[in-house]
Amino acid sequence: MEMKTIPDSVMRSSKSKETVEIIAQIIFTVCALFAILAVMAITAYMMIGGTPALLKVGIKEILFGTVWKPTAAEPQYGILYVILTSIVGTALAILIGVPIGILSAVFLAEVAPKRLAMIVKPAVELLAGIPSVIYGLLGIYLLNPLMYKLELFVFRNSTEHQYTGGANLLSAVLVLAIMILPTVINISETSIRAVPVHIKSASLALGATHIQTIFKAILPAARSGVVTAVVLGIGRAIGEAMAISLVSGSSVNLPLPFNSVRFLTTAIVSEMGYAQGTHRQVLFTIGLVLFVFIMIINITLNKILKKGGAEHE
């Protein structure tokens, strides 16, 4: 009985495929290692840069102090109001922007006629490409005057209020809410369109209306992508500096709607150019606080997502 030999061309083809797979695996591994090393390097840099001020000035004085006078004869480096401003401002922007963004994504993916969607979607994508400084300039010339008129109306009988000219927390929140819309809308719409058709068909077949199907079947199925959109929106909001520095007034105050305020990012941007010594180290500490905030938010939302996915299954 004769044994058939494998042709040399087949052997060469098999070996070349194995070589390509090995090379691809090495490239993917190296890229993954670079990503891990980048995160580790950033974390180490922020820890090294932000820790000395905590040890020199004191954790209590920096994190829980309310007075920011880094250039005074007796400097004070309290950033509690700055931290609270970032938390309150980001939270309010998310409360305003996320519902609008998700509902807009639902409209584009499930409700809007195709012709209208073809007009609205490029407009949303254009918003994502506008530089943040443009949002700030528009805020100065359009939003701040409106907020100033509202401020004059609200405090018309007040003799103690310090008028901000419209550059206050409320203006900053509205600008942030507008800036996160493209991210939330685009990612949420993609996730909604990726939901299998049979989920929608099964819901409609059971007697649910179109709106009930959207909120009871499609959105829960697209939960992973929607949460990702929210996470990226939060990252955009809490990390924004240029636009906020133009419309918020950049003064360290309690984060009330009509107070001129300063965010963590704007504190770094506005003073890093001339800061020296301890003042500069404290600015690195502010960057460390911002970094920790973003890490906590990402970890928390990812845990919520995994828990929700497990319950959904």
Pairing of strands 76-77, 68-69: antiparallel
Q: Domain with 65 in it: what CATH number?
A: 1.10.3720.10
Return d(Cα 289, Cα 221) in angstroms, integer: 35
Is residue 3 included in any domain, yes or no?
no
Average pLDDT, the chain: 85
Strand partners, 265: none
CA distances from residue 152 to 141, 147, 216, 246, 254 in whole angstroms, order as listed: 17, 9, 45, 20, 19
Share of the chain above pLDDT 90, in %: 22
Return d(Cα 258, Cα 118) in angstroms, integer: 39
Q: Which two tokens stand for residue 15?
A: 């070996």
Tell me the per-residue pLDDT of 112-129, one tens digit each, with 9 for 90 and over.
Answer: 888 888 888 888 888 888
Query: Span 259-276, mean pLDDT?
Result: 87
Is residue 28 included in any domain, yes or no?
no
Is residue 44 included in any domain, yes or no?
no
CB neighbour list of residue 77: distance below 8 Å, 6 or more residues apart = 53, 57, 61, 62, 65, 68, 70, 278, 279, 282
Is residue 193 included in any domain, yes or no?
yes
**Range with top average pLDDT, 3-7, 161-165, 258-262, 292-296:** 258-262
The identity of residue 309, as a single letter, is: G
Confidence of residue 271 (pLDDT cuts 50, 70, 90): confident
Is residue 11 included in any domain, yes or no?
no
Asked if residue 12 has pLDDT above 70, the reply is no
CB neighbour list of residue 204: distance below 8 Å, 6 or more residues apart = 210, 213
Confidence of residue 270 (pLDDT cuts 50, 70, 90): confident
Is residue 30 included in any domain, yes or no?
no
Question: So what's the pLDDT on residue 1?
Answer: 46
Q: Are 79 and 68 in contact (CB under 8 A)?
A: yes
Rg (CA), the chain: 26
Q: State which residues form the domain around 116.
A: 59-312
Asked if residue 174 has pLDDT above 90, the reply is yes
Return d(Cα 188, Cα 190) in angstroms, integer: 5
Is residue 74 included in any domain, yes or no?
yes
Q: Domain tally for the chain?
A: 1
8 versus 92: which is more confidently predicted?
A: 92
Question: So what's the pLDDT on residue 6?
Answer: 54
- The label of the residue with tokens 């942030």 reads 176
The pTM of the full predicted model, rounded to 2 decimals, is 0.83
Is residue 84 included in any domain, yes or no?
yes
Return d(Cα 52, Cα 284) in angstroms, integer: 9
